[in-house]
Amino acid sequence: MRKFLTSFALVGAFALTVAIGVASASHESFTLFGDAEIVTGGNPGNAVQLRSDADPGFGGIDFDVAAMTFEELESLATDYEFETDDSCGGGSPRFQVNVDSGTGDTGNIFVYIGPLPNYTGCPPDMWVPTGDLLEGANPIDTSQLDGGTFYDPYAAAVAKYGDYDVTGVQLVVDGAWFFADGEQTVLVDNTDIDGTIYTYDATKDDCKNGGWMDLVDDDGEAFKNQGDCVSHFARGT
């Protein structure tokens, strides 16, 4: 069974499961939780807006991932854009990789987004690609696991936890507490989870089964009904 281990409570959180088009032209699924919604203004197309404020204090995307071990997870990356008065900070935004040793050691491996060494000072009002956060100099946080540390070099993390099963991956924002105005908002797009690229752009099939009620057109306007939604995406405008 897939485990969803996070650093916050999901009681009463809004959840929306969506099928999206990806680079391979197949469809993959993800679930939005907390204060998260699909919006226009992506890089390009749609994006997911993740917000942390007083209630519920977090927003995120839970990705459906194939069975793999941590050492088999080859890439984590996304494009992101902060609003004018926002930035990264407080350990947010971040990827959370839920892992399980199979012998009792379970927890999250946190992969933070933002400039080293403190993951603060992300520029506003511009799209920034993280690049693959599992490569290069970026250390990762394995402190929830036995023998883990706050800043663990990736190679060291793989040596210790490479054979742990990955039971889930999320992209999370929950850093409102870090900012004077008590709010943190970011857009994310083109998210790479082990080579699968999530673009968050809907197709006409996503209008079915009530999906049209959670989608908007290119001007951010809600659709009148399923037919209106299907027509919009069928003509590609």
Instruction: Write the pLDDT tens digit of every residue in 115-174.
Output: 999 999 999 999 999 999 998 778 999 999 999 999 999 999 999 999 999 999 999 999
Q: Tell me, what's the pLDDT at 218?
A: 73
Query: What are the distances in angstroms from CA 172 to CA 34, 64, 94, 115?
Result: 10, 15, 6, 17
Residues 6 or more apart from 55 whose CB is under 8 A from it?
A: none
Q: State the chain's mean pLDDT as an integer.
A: 87
What's the pTM value of the predicted model, to 2 decimals?
Answer: 0.82
pLDDT tens by residue, the chain, 237 residues: 333 334 443 333 334 444 443 333 234 589 999 999 999 899 998 999 999 998 899 999 999 999 999 999 999 999 999 998 999 999 999 999 999 999 999 999 999 999 999 999 999 999 999 999 998 778 999 999 999 999 999 999 999 999 999 999 999 999 999 999 999 999 999 999 999 999 998 778 888 888 888 777 777 788 999 999 999 888 765
Q: Tell me, what's the pLDDT at 110?
A: 98
Q: Tell me, what's the pLDDT at 28?
A: 56
Q: Tell me, what's the pLDDT at 159?
A: 96
Query: 47 near 127, Cβ under 8 Å?
Result: no
3-state secondary structure of 236: coil
3-state secondary structure of 233: helix
How far apart (Å, rounded) are the C-alpha atoms in residues 76 and 196? 10
How far apart (Å, rounded) are the C-alpha atoms in residues 127 and 207? 28
Structure tokens at 140: 């990762």
Domains and CATH numbers, the chain: 15-201 (2.60.120), 203-212+222-237 (no CATH)
